[in-house]
Amino acid sequence: MASLFRIAIFASGQGSNFQTFVDATQSGRLEAEIVLLVSDKAKAPVVERAQRAGIDSYVFDPKAYAKREDYELEIAAELERRQVDLVVLAGYMRLLTSVLVDRYTGRMINIHPSLLPAFPGKDAIEQAWEYGVKTTGITVHLVDGGMDTGAVIAQKAVEIRNEDSLESLEEKIHAAEKELYPQVVSWFAKGMIRVEGRKVSVLQK
């Protein structure tokens, strides 16, 4: 029997997307194994979620290191020890250096709550709301070391209606994330992703 596709999830906060992946793997919707949570906040609720799910955590204090590359070398060792196939960023609030990005080129993904390249960076939902756009959405993209600049894998549009509030828009965005993100990881697990420069294709199987 073939071993399951192995993923590590990086998260810094509540862990709602992390929980989505836990639920998807447990239900069989996603044929993969979460082998590690990486977090930069020991007291983040996502760490408790991992404990409840029986998933190993690597938690570190960035302030204990002279520079980012130092703790990323330790993270890289943890990922390699667990033979991680894909790194999934899910609310991880730190820019990565080449230490991790270069090792996992084409095998590290992030989700952003806008239709990139519109509204990169922090507070993307609020940016879209205040700008007055009629359609926003979510983007799953490869990580290349820039601020939300990696090649786009998949996007899902979310309409902003007259009756929406910022809070209702946030709810719709999060619902879209829970649907799309596990689906993209399943494409990786099934070997359906092909990357050619900035063009990412999803092969049919």
Indicate whether 157 belongs to any domain.
yes
pTM for this one? Answer: 0.94
In a domain, 39, yes or no: yes
Query: Considering the domain boundaries, does residue 200 fall inside one?
Result: no
Dump strand ranges (E) for 100-149.
108-112, 135-142
User: How many folded domains does the chain comprise?
Assistant: 1
Q: Is residue 201 situated within a structural domain?
A: no
Distance, in Å, from the CA atom of 25 to the CA atom of 20, rounded to the nearest integer, reads: 9
Asked, for residue 120, whether it belongs to a domain, the answer is yes
Residue 171 falls within a domain, yes or no?
A: yes
**Structure confidence by residue, pLDDT tens digits, 70-89:** 999 999 999 999 999 999 99
Tens digit of pLDDT for each residue in 107-161?
999 999 999 999 999 999 999 999 999 999 999 999 998 889 999 999 999 999 9
Instruction: Print the domain residue range for 58.
Output: 5-193
CB contact at 8 A, 19 and 49: yes
Q: With left for phi above 0 and alpha for psi between -120 and 50, is residue 202 left, alpha or beta?
A: beta
Residue 127 belongs to domain with CATH number: 3.40.50.170
Residue 26 lies inside a defined structural domain of this protein: yes
Task: Give me the active site residues, please.
Answer: 112
Q: Kindly compute the dihedral angle of the four CA atoms of residues 158, 202, 30, 3, in this order, to the nearest 10 degrees.
A: -160
